[in-house]
Structure 1
Amino acid sequence: MRAVLVVNPKATTTSERSRDVLVRALRSEVDLTVRYTRRRGHATDLAREAADEGVDLVVTLGGDGTVNEVVNGLLTAQPATVDPARPSAERLPALATVPGGSTNVFARALGLPREWPEGTSMILEALRLGRSRTIGLGRADDRYFTFCAGFGLDAAVVHRVESARRKGRVSTPALYLRSAVSHYFVGSDRRHPAIRLERPGAPAESELATVIVQNTAPWTYLGEREVNPNPEASFDLGLDVMALRQLRVASTARTAAQILSRRPDPHGRHVFRLHDLDEFVLVSSRPQPFQLDGDYLGEREKVRFTSVPAALRVIC
């Protein structure tokens, strides 16, 4: 089996020595080539090249941003020796994800351990046993995502956290909480909901303040605690949506408590939820912060979401 390991050298939970250990372990099972990312977006190019070369497996070592880039590289590849009419999960390399970031939502949603040594052991076992599964993805306009998207408040929080990390701050649950509180009280226009959700065959839902889209559950983690706005979201179904109609202090705090509970079930007059959607569009009367898989992508006024079933084969 030919494989390419795409390494983000800035991965927060690994060192050069641990990467060497990982490479030796993988080479005991596959014919491995190692490629390092050098800039944002480089993992997309490396994964696309690997798929075009006809490798069997692409392994990532990095966080959720690295995984997202690799997935987009794979799904936009056009291997010359493979029938393009075949489903992408059959014609493209499989994906294995070694947890190397601070949160590793995608890997953990697949059932992999949080730490990279245990995650690597589970992947090696899966390779020996031929164990894999096929998962669906989400697509926002022309970009794929693996576990979540945000339009509004949560994307603004991601933007604040990314800015803090560029200044040398370490990504921690406390940093996310401080960023969320700060933006909520200082940076958001909480009194004028501007988002509208449109879907085929149903009336539009207007005056939404913020929207979370999930392709699986959980949405994210705070340390070991799952955060679950849409607990029924699944890789095997369409997309799930939770939106807040208002961002008043009391109702927002109540919803936050609900999604952090052991049995999450966000509800109330201000909560709007949809399950297992094939497609929908978010439109805003003013630009909204936008994120995919925890990466801030700027502001948008309109985003079209589509569920892409059985898109990718993963080793887990």
Structure 2
Amino acid sequence: MPPMRALLVVNPKATTTTERSRDVLVRALGSQIDLSVEYTLKRGHAAALAREAAETGVDLVVSLGGDGTVNEVVNGLMTAEPGLASQGTSPAFRLPALAVVPGGSTNVFARALGLPRDWVESAGVILDGLRSGRHRVIGLGRADDRYFTFTAGMGLDAAVTRRVEQARLRGRTSTPALYLRSVVGQVFSGEDRKAPPLSIERPGEEPEVGLGTVIIQNTAPWTYVGDRPINPNPQASFDRGLDLLALRSLAVASTTRTVTQMASRNADPHGKNVLRLHDQAEFTVVASRPQSFQLDGDYLGERQKVHFLSVPEALRVIC
């Protein structure tokens, strides 16, 4: 049997790896599989590389980078058009498998899969999975025509993502303290506090209106602040539909209380200000005015309407 063909997609700006450590990873993977290596050059390049790999019959795509790199690789895989021999099967078995070596600052997706935070240990888990043939089939979320692995959001959480990204562009390091300051700054800015602009529309249900922010999850946790998981929707799972939490008001006191509940050890956000929906197959978030929008921690500008869909059994992941 010929060796497995694999592509390693490397984000050279990955914050937790060096050129030397990447060489070690390449040698380790190359000892077991027929490995090609490509370095991303710009935004969107990882998606193009993964799409081409899938369309040329590669068996495995390995992502080395943060959650943004993973998101691009997943979108490249999910929008590929493999050869006719692969048609007629589910996406998880029609497409190459995915492996993730964490190289970013937070690595939510890799940690949600149970992979170690250290890239060396994660690489060891992946190599063991390849030797044993171990994999997991997971579902994804889709927002309009773009896929996401663990989270999406409109309103407050996306605006916080924008603040963090702007701070990083100014040279700040992504830390728990930076994230918390961004949350506090956005809450106290007062934007959308008096007239919450969001609503949720579901097939066959009355709309939920007057919402200040919406957090959508495809797994738990939503993110981490250091070692602490933040859990708006602790029941979210790769094996079910999408979960969401919305706030009816962005008043400082009630928002602070909900954020505290999300960060507690036994997270269970609740109260008259909180709307939670579990295991949703489909819904649309509509805004009366443009709102910040993020997918997998990447700020994507402003939107007024986004259709969300759960995509079950979408990918095989080595973990």
Scaled to the shorter chain, the TM-score interval is over 0.9
Q: Deviations over 1:98-140 (max 9, x none)?
A: 0000000000000000110111111111111110010000000
Match in the other structure for 1:48: 51
Whether 1:233 aligns to 2:236 is yes
Alpha-carbon distance in structure 2 between the residues aligned to 1:261 and 1:162 = 26
> Which digits, 9 at most, give the CA deviation of each residue in 1:17-41, with x for residues without a partner?
0000110111111110000000011
Whether 2:302 is the aligned partner of 1:311: answer: no
Residue pairs, 1:109-258, within 5 angstroms? 109-186=112-189, 188-258=191-261
Identical columns (%): 70
Residue 217 of structure 1 aligns with an amino acid whose one-letter code is: A
Q: Report how far residue 83 of structure 1 moved.
A: 3.2
Q: Which amino acid is the alignment partner of residue 8 of structure 1? A: N
**1:272 matched to which residue of 2?**
275
What letter corresponds to residue 243 of structure 1 in structure 2? Answer: A
2:8 pairs with 1:9: no
1:259 aligns with 2:299: no
SS at match of 1:291: strand
State the distance in 2 between where 1:21 and 1:117 align.
9
Q: Equivalent residue for 2:297?
A: 294
Which structure 2 residue ranges, 5 or more long, are not aligned?
Answer: none
2:13 match: secondary structure:
coil
**Contact 1:82–1:91 (CA under 8 A) maintained in structure 2:** no
CA distance in 1, matches of 2:64, 2:91: 22
**Which consecutive aligned stretches of 4+ in structure 1 deviate over 4 angstroms post-superposition?**
none
Question: 1:279, 1:307 within 8 Å by CA — same for their partners in 2?
Answer: yes
Rounded to whole Å, the distance in 2 between the matches of 1:76 and 1:20 is: 30
The one-character-per-residue Cα deviations of 1:213-270 (angstroms, maximum 9, x if unpaired) are: 0000000000100000000000000000100001111111111111111100000000
Q: Deviations over 1:147-166 (max 9, x none)?
A: 00010001011111111111
| Cα distance in 2 for residues equivalent to 1:72 and 1:187 | 35
Q: Give the drift of 1:189.
A: 2.3
The alignment's TM-score, normalised by the length of structure 2, stands at 0.98
User: What's the CA shift for 1:80?
Assistant: 1.8
Match of 2:284 among 281, 285, 304: 281
AA in 2 matched with 1:85:
G
Are residues 1:75 and 2:71 paired? no
In the aligned structure 1, how far is the partner of 2:187 from the partner of 2:210?
A: 18
Indicate the SS of the match to 2:179.
Answer: helix
For residues 80 and 166 of structure 1, what CA distance do their matches in structure 2 show?
41
Q: Give the structure-1-normalised TM-score.
A: 0.99
Alignment check: 8 A CA contact 1:140 1:304 kept: yes
Deviations 1:146-190 (A, max 9, x none): 000010001011111111111211111111111111122126221
What secondary structure sits across from 1:44 in the alignment? helix
Where structure 1 has 5 or more consecutive residues not aligned to the other structure, the ranges are none
User: In 2 relative to 1, CA 124–187 (structure 1 residues): closer, same or farther, beyond 3 Å?
Assistant: farther
Number of residues of Structure 1 aligned to a counterpart in Structure 2: 316
Q: Which amino acid aligns with 2:183?
A: A
Separation (CA, whole Å) in 2 of partners of 1:168 and 1:214: 29
Tell me which amino acid in the other structure corresponds to 2:172: R
Match of 1:18 among 6, 9, 21: 21
Residues 54 and 81, structure 1, Cα contact 8 Å, conserved in 2 = no
Give the AA of the match of 1:114.
R
Looking at structure 2, the residues matched to 12 and 315 of structure 1 have their Cα atoms a distance apart, in angstroms, of 22
